[in-house]
A and B are shown apart, each in its own frame.
Chain A
């Protein structure tokens, strides 16, 4: 019992110490201080497909999805993206992986694990990134290693 309490105390202590160095949206302002916040960013809904950073990336949603209902009753996304709808809607059909269960079997309908589209597919906003990003596209990595080998 004593040990557990001690462990908790250490955890709490280290958490507070650590959290002081974490960049926050409040810009490290003290609790009793007001900070001026950035305006809420707008969603990018220009209907232009965004290229993927790697082949397995779920593509970004380039259009408005305000109030699109996805629940037990109905999946609004599939009203345009399902296999039989794309002639009319000219939307990209959900790819074949959406019909596979986790054992790789192909199902007749979109697999339950791919039903909640916005779990993986999201819209982007025009917000400036809070932190830098050092992601390097695999194409560039390939070019680098090719140069090194030569």
Chain B
């Protein structure tokens, strides 16, 4: 076994005698494309709702709650899935969010939210992460679908039009400031700014 490994090691270290530089470069390039593609495919797979709710923590809590809301069923039939609101579109942002999500997977493996009770206990903290993220990026994920520039106030409800034409137009507030709990039940909001 040891011999075998040593032989392989030598083969790797030895300069190539059989293959041309051109072949190796091209081969490397192709392998690179395959790896890159594979990586992105894996990324795509983890970027679907099926993946998100393949763990019961998500399926039994947040997904169940989403199902009664306007982002699951509405007159136009446009659906928002988990990654639409939770994963940035830009590649670098996406990778950053995925690395953060690895921590959440860690939470799954070690069962820190494996019952409804534990989930509810953690909920405020989890929600605050999302609020902070959306606040920092000016509710980018919402705006991917709801483009403020194309909102027609005249067909909005009176309350909606009043808030949007003032606080949002001036940039004073962003979507998540007013639309917390848009997709899931809210945790105890005592102490959260604007809610007491």
Contact = CB atoms under 8 A, between A and B. Distances in A.
A73 B68 CA distance: 19
B157 A64 contact: yes
B194 A47 contact: no
Interface string A48-80: 000000000000000110110101111010010
A67 B189 contact: no
Nearest to A72: B188
A90 interface: yes
A73 B185 contact: yes
B70 A47 contact: no
B195 A90 contact: no
B158 A69 contact: no
B68 A69 contact: no
Interface residues of B, number: 15
Contacts of B69: 66-67
Contact of B185 (A64, A69, A79): A69
Interface string A7-48: 000000000000000000000000000000000000001010
Given A69-B181, A79-B194, A79-B195, A63 B189 contact: no
Contact of A66 (B70, B187, B189, B194): B70
A73 B70 contact: no
B79 to A, nearest CB: 16
B189 A47 contact: no
Interface string B49-77: 00000000000000000001110000000
Size range of the chain A interface in the assembly: 10 to 19
B119 to A, nearest CB: 14
Contacts of A69: 181, 185-186
Nearest to B195: A79
B116 to A, nearest CB: 14
B7 interface: no
Interface in B162-196: 162, 181, 185-189, 194-195
A74 B159 contact: no
Contacts of A79: 194-195
B187 A73 contact: yes
Interface in A71-109: 71-74, 76, 79, 89-90
B186 A67 contact: no
Given A45-B157, A69-B181, A79-B194, A74 B186 contact: yes
B157 A74 contact: no
B157 A63 contact: yes
Contacts of B195: 74, 79
Interface of A: 45, 47, 63-64, 66-67, 69, 71-74, 76, 79, 89-90
Given A69-B181, A72-B188, A74-B195, 8 more contacts: A45-B157, A67-B68, A69-B185, A69-B186, A73-B189, A74-B186, A79-B194, A90-B162
- Return the 9 tightest CB-CB contacts between A and B, nearest first: A47-B158, A74-B189, A73-B188, A74-B186, A67-B69, A69-B186, A73-B186, A47-B157, A73-B187
